[in-house]
Structure formats: C-alpha cells, structure tokens
A and B are shown apart, each in its own frame.
Chain A
Amino acid sequence: GQQVMQIPQYQHVQEGEDFTTYCNSSTTLSNIQWYKQRPGGHPVFLIQLVKSGEVKKQKRLTFQFGEAKKNSSLHITATQTTDVGTYFCVRGTGNQFYFGTGTSLTVIP
C-alpha cells in the first residue's frame, strides 16, 4: 500500500545512549521526509531527503536515504531527554503525504 513501515514501534533508551529508527517502503520513494511529534504536541518537520544515498546531519541527528530509495533511517547520537517524542518518516508522492507508523522514543534520565 501507500504506507511506509517503521521499526521499532517503541524504543526506551537510557540518556546518553544512541537511537535509530528505520523506515521501509516496498516501492521506490521520490523523497522522504522526517517529522517529530513531542508528547501532546503536533508534528514538526525535521528534514527532507531526495537523492539516492543522501546523508544529512543536524547536530546529533543523522538522516540517511537508501541507495535504492526504498528505505531511510534516523540516528540520534547520545540521546537527551529533549529527544523524547514520536518520529515519523513521511512519503511524499503526487499530492499526498503518507505518514509512517512512527517510532515512539522514551529517554530515561
């Protein structure tokens, strides 16, 4: 279908540990976006990846787009309590945006 699958669904980490969420699609993606939703908040855009094999960094966050443009990952180095929230990858196609199933990150102080 149109949805992209994310794993894991939930992740609990100790503060300072690394965290990775993976996004997989059965079809080739024209682009992939990542959004973060804090508890009780609304989704906020983080980044967009367009090119095959693209890697982008935002401070402790590293985003990758697979060579085949069918998967993507978000890696957070040395998590902090401010990283708590649900991370969604989003498939943008035509006129529509399809949100992945999301990974909920809990950071234990």
Chain B
Amino acid sequence: DSGVTQTPKHLITATGQRVTLRCSPRSGDLSVYWYQQSLDQGLQFLIQYYNGEERAKGNILERFSAQQFPDLHSELNLSSLELGDSALYFCASSVEGTGANVLTFGAGSRLTVL
C-alpha cells in the first residue's frame, strides 16, 4: 500500500457520459498529480495541484477538469466521454510541488468507455 488511495478501481461507462475519479494523497503530501496511461502508452501528465491551488497543466483536454479540496483530496472530472478516453488514470502525490520531489502513485482507476 503506497498510501495514495484512488477510487473507483474500475469504471465502465458509455460515450457522452461524465465520471469523477477521486484521489486521497499520502499523509503529509501537499501536491497531487494526475496522469493518463493508455494501452501500451507512457504516462501523460494532465494536471498538478499544490495545497489546493492549480500549479501546472499538461495535456489535459478541455472536457476534463480537476480540483483539490481543503482536506487535500483531489477529484478529476471527465465529461462528454469518448472511446479514446478509455485509459488508466493515475494519481500521484509528493510532499512539495517541485520536480525534485519523489512521486508516490496510487493503484490507478481503470476507465472503460463503451
């Protein structure tokens, strides 16, 4: 157990729908990162939050949004889902929000869009 909790583990939905993925960072970590990993693909950085504030944006689609709440948990909202959004979504946390820190990953949420 890495200390980073992601729910749900698996999610199956239809095109056009909206889903919310949830992440609780490791205790003491202030920064949360979201990554997307498609089949046989690398990890694409989506967005980062630090202590409730958005810090950096990567290749995140306009249909996707995220936020980090005062208790530091984060949610990734995916709307108007398309078949191509099927992927493994990872949340990672770190103590600080800098690139010199170490990322601790959750087990991921596997999204299947039918």
Contact = CB atoms under 8 A, between A and B. Distances in A.
A94 B56 CA distance: 9
Interface residues of B, number: 26
B100 A42 contact: no
Contacts of A44: 2, 105
Interface in A64-109: 88, 90-102
Contacts of B55: 95
Given A42-B2, A42-B90, A44-B105, A95 B99 contact: yes
Interface size class on chain A is 20 to 34
Contact of A95 (B2, B44, B98, B103): B98
B45 A97 contact: yes
Contacts of A101: 42
Contacts of A93: 99
Contacts of A31: 99-100
Interface string B84-114: 0000001010000111111111111000000
Interface of B: 2, 33, 35, 42-45, 48, 50, 55-56, 58, 90, 92, 97-108
Closest 6 CB pairs of A and B: A92-B99, A42-B105, A99-B43, A95-B56, A95-B55, A93-B99
